[in-house]
Amino acid sequence: MSPILRMENLTVKLGGRVIIENINLRINRQEIVAIVGPNGGGKTTLIKTALGLITPTEGTVEILGTTPEKAIKTGKIGYLPQKTDIPRNFPFSVLDVVLLGLVNSGLSRKEKLEKAKKYLSYVGMGGLEDHPYGRLSGGQQQRVSIARVLVSDPEIIFLDEPSTGIDVVAQESFYDFLKKLRDEKGITVVMVSHDIGVVGKFVDKVAGLNRFLHYYGHPRDFFQRHVLEKLYGTDVELIIHSPECVACEHFHSDFRK
Amino acid sequence: MAELLEIPFVQNALIGGVILAVLLSVLSLFIYLKNWSFINVGISHAAFGGLAVGFYLGLSPTVFGIIFAVATGLLIGYISRKGDIHEDISIGILFSMSMAFGVIVITLSPNYNTDLFTFLFGNILTISKGDIILLGGFSVFALGFIAAFFNKIMYCCYNEEVAYVSGINTPFYYYSLITIIAIATVLSVKLVGVILASAMMILPAAMANQIFWHYRKILVFSVFFSILMVVAGIFISFQYDLPSGATIVLLYSALFSISVLTKKLIGKAG
């Protein structure tokens, strides 16, 4: 099966500085892939290059079997940038934000409204259609933005730090929701995350990026000292919180004593 | 007041003023959403250089003003998008350079007279039927363009990168909007002057958003109160022999202060 996203020998220089170098990456359909790495490691640059927002200095990007510039015209790509890139007090209702995702759809006004409402219910925001977007909590705004991404029926979605500002419990249900998207709608999810512990439990593959792609594969092999040292430097100390985490149990019982 | 309405140049001023109020208040929504206040101030100052060149050559100041304003606007827009130089710095350099150039050209001009003051601060007595036709024609075109592509332009205001990934031709809407703002600035020169034109494109939406949170209400309120302010400003300036542009802008500012106070007292209406 041909990959939905393929990067070959990709190098990006911005302002004379090499941000990512010689990246080779293949992402298959219906996978959830997390791109992790330290701040400034090139995670956002990588997805912006995949989307055609940044032109690579060297190498090629192929998405949905074509160039990013042609692929975006199909409307089959969804993008959720970092929260700070979305104006918090934009004078839109919740429904207006979701309708943005259908601007290029060619549907009638009635069809657009029906579809937008359906997706708001899907993300658990039904009934809040006429509510001011700017007055929602961070987590609620994120759900509405996800509905905006999904309403155009994308085949692949890119999420940049989607769990920022969401509490840990909400994060877990958010990642479960991404699994639901993959399983029910067959969507490929590529997300940037700084939270390698939580992400490790939910994704199919992890891409460890710090200028170079140091690791790409199953999350279980990612948490090895030599991989993490390459990615984060030699002084990395990792505590993974998970329901099965024995170390956490020990830590908590020690703490209680 | 009824007698004033019978005077031809008052009629011209009112018709031109109302058209301008509608055009600039609609543009103010996008300037507000895009945080383009300083870009707008830069364009209006840059227009002065072009007006001065036209004046010096004895040709149409409006045409040269438009050329300068559009070129400066597009250059500022390009620099802002490219991100190599901070946009505030590029605007500061470009508009002061154009203003300085305009002052030197005007000083060298054999036609040098008080028209300089008109360029800067407006003089509604000089609005002719030809000006109204030009302004009206351009307004129909500009508002038609905005109406036809309203949702796509709003998507660009929400987030340009997201709009681009959704297949919207964001550079086209970005540069079109800047071009419309630049031309509107030059065409408003006789009513309020280049210096004060930017106020009419910044204050309406900023004021309306103090009271309403939704863009449709912001738009309607901006247009309605801009017409009210411009008509009131023209009558007051005639009545008390005050400069029209300054009077109109002071009225806008007063209403903005009231809207801020109203917001503090009762919150946003809806």
pLDDT in tens, A187-209: 999 999 877 776 777 899 999 99
Secondary structure letter of residue A133 according to DSSP: G
- SS3 of B155-187: the string is HHHHCHHHHHHCCCCHHHHHHHHHHHHHHHHHH
Residue A43 pLDDT > 90: yes
Interchain contact B164–A (C-beta under 8 A) = yes
Confirm or reject contact between B101 and chain A (CB < 8 A): no
User: How far is CA A13 from its chain centroid?
Assistant: 23
**Of the candidates B84, B164, B167, which has its C-beta nearest A53's C-beta?**
B164
- Cα torsion A160, A162, A167, A169: sign: negative
Which one of B167, B213, B218 has the shortest CB-CB distance to A75? B167
Closest by Cβ to A103, choosing from B84, B168, B209? B168
User: Which tops the pLDDT comparison, A223 or A123?
Assistant: A123
Q: Which of these ranges, A90-104, B47-61, B73-87, has the smallest mean pLDDT? A: B73-87
Beta bridge partners of A66: A63
Task: Count the Cβ atoms, other than its own, within 10 Å of residue B263.
Answer: 16
Interface test with B, best of A66, A67, A79, A158 (most B CBs within 10 A): A79
Alpha helices, DSSP H, located in chain B: 2-6, 8-33, 37-57, 61-82, 87-108, 115-121, 129-148, 150-158, 160-165, 170-187, 193-211, 215-239, 244-266
Q: Are A102 and A112 in contact (CB under 8 A)?
A: yes
- Residue A75's nearest CA partner among B166, B199, B161 is B166
Total beta-carbon pairs less than 8 A apart between chain A and chain B? 76
Query: A75 and B166 in contact by Cβ < 8 A?
Result: yes
Which residues 135-154 in chain B show a CB within 8 A of chain A?
Answer: 151-152, 154
Average pLDDT over residues A72-99: 89
Distance CA A91, CA A131 (A): 11
With 70 as the cut, is the pLDDT of residue B70 above it?
Answer: yes
Confidence at residue A142, expressed as pLDDT on a 0 to 100 scale: 85
Whether the pLDDT of residue A22 is over 60: the answer is yes
Cβ–Cβ < 8 Å for A156, A134: no
The three-state secondary structure class of A59 is: strand
User: Residue A252: its pLDDT value, please?
Assistant: 37
pLDDT in the model for residue A237: 61
Local confidence band at A249 (pLDDT 50, 70, 90 cut-offs):
very low
Interchain pair A90, B167: CB under 8 A: no
User: How distant, in Å, are the alpha carbons of A79, B30, B31 from that of B215?
Assistant: 24, 10, 13
Q: Does B33 touch chain A (CB under 8 A)?
A: yes
Average pLDDT over chain B reads 88
Supply the pLDDT for residue B127: 86
Minimal CA–CA distance to B193: which of B141, B124, B260? B124
Determine the Cα–Cα distance for residues B251 and B101; give it in Å rounded to an integer: 32
Q: Which residues of A touch B84 (CB under 8 A)?
A: 15
pLDDT of B1: 67
Tell me the C-alpha distance between A145 and A87, whole Å. Answer: 12
Of A68-72, A76-80, B30-34, B87-91, give the lowest mean pLDDT range. Answer: B87-91
Please tell me the least confidently modeled range out of A162-176, B152-166, B247-261.
A162-176
Q: In the sheet that A188-192 helps form, which strands lie side by side, from edge to edge? A: A77-80, A156-160, A188-192, A32-36, A205-210, A212-217
Helix (H, G, I), strand (E, B) or coil at A197: helix
Query: For A151-171, what is the mean pLDDT?
Result: 84
Burial class (CB in 10 A: 0-12, 13-18, 19+), B208: buried
What does the pLDDT read at residue A198?
A: 66
Closest-CA residue in chain A for B166? A75
Cα separation, B178 vs B27, whole angstroms: 10
Residues 6+ apart with CB under 8 A from A103: B151, B152, B155, B163, B166, B168
d(CA B218, CA B216): 5
Q: Give the count of alpha carbons within 13 A of B264, CB side only.
A: 6
Out of A77, A91, A103, closest to residue B155 by CB:
A103
Tell which wins on pLDDT, A225 or B22. Answer: B22
Q: Identify the pLDDT of residue B145.
A: 98
When mean pLDDT is compared across A92-96, B53-57, B62-66, the lowest value belongs to: B53-57
Check whether B137 has a pLDDT greater than 60: yes
Q: Quickly count: other Cβ atoms within 10 Å of residue A67's Cβ.
A: 13
- Kindly state the percentage of chain B with pLDDT values over 70: 95
User: Across chain A, what does the average pLDDT equal?
Assistant: 86
- Token pair in block for residue B196: 């004060």
Given CA atoms B166, B172, B175, B179 in this order, what sign does their dihedral have? negative
- Max distance between CA atoms of chain A, in angstroms, equals 64
Q: Give yes or no for residue B51 having a pLDDT over 90.
A: no
Minimal Cα–Cα distance from B220 to chain A, Å?
Answer: 13
Question: Are residues B137 and B262 in contact, defined by beta-carbon separation less than 8 angstroms?
Answer: no
pLDDT number for residue B268: 60
pLDDT band at B213 (very low <50, low <70, confident <90, very high): very high
- Residue B251 pLDDT > 80, yes or no? yes
Q: Full-prediction pTM beyond 0.90?
A: no
User: Which range among A74-83, B96-105, B236-245, B261-270 shows the weakest confidence by mean pLDDT?
Assistant: B261-270
Are the beta carbons of A152 and A72 closer than 8 angstroms?
no
Cβ separation B209–A91 shorter than 8 A: yes
pLDDT at position A236 is 61
Residue A153 predicted with pLDDT over 90? yes
User: What is the reported pLDDT for A246?
Assistant: 46
In this prediction, residues B168-179 reach a mean pLDDT of: 96
Nearest CA distance, B92 vs chain A (angstrom) = 23
With bands split at pLDDT 50, 70 and 90, how would you rate the model's confidence at A224? confident
How far apart CA B119 and CA B46 sit, in angstroms, is 12
Q: Are B156 and B163 in contact (CB under 8 A)?
A: yes
Chain B contact for A124, CB < 8 A? no
